[in-house]
Structure 1
Amino acid sequence: MRFKEYIESLPNQRYEEVLKLSKLCRVNESTVYRWLRGDFTPDPLKRKVISDYLNIPEKELWPDV
């Protein structure tokens, strides 16, 4: 499941999950939304943090990287 697909699968918790991810990665919420839109991809360290937090392999979240 790609990163965007995972977040979109959380209809009632989407905003809370974005907040948690922004705090974990120490970025602004708008940065997480840019990742979701595909404007750019998180750097390798942030991808690792997100992957560990979601317990989904990094290659599954971002297969094109």
Structure 2
Amino acid sequence: MEFKEYVNSLPNQRDELMENLATLCRVSKITVYRWFRGDFLPDALKRKVIADYLQISEKELWPNV
């Protein structure tokens, strides 16, 4: 399940998840939202952190990287 699909699968927890990811990655919530929309791709370290946090493989979350 790709990152955007995963976030969309949690409609009631989406804002909380995005806030947690922003804190975890030390970026703004706007940045996480841009990742979610596909405007930008998190750098390699942040992708690893997000994958570990979500317990989903990085390759599954971002298959085209």
Common fold, TM-score beyond 0.5? yes
**2: distance between equivalents of 1:36 and 1:20?**
14
Identical aligned pairs, as a percentage?
A: 69
Q: Hey, what does 2:8 align to over in structure 1?
A: 8
Shift >2 Å, 4+ stretches:
none
Q: CA deviation at 1:8?
A: 0.5
| TM-score, normalised relative to structure 2 | 0.98
Gaps of 5+ in 2: none
**2: distance between equivalents of 1:36 and 1:14?**
10
SS at match of 2:33: helix
| TM-score, normalised relative to structure 1 | 0.98
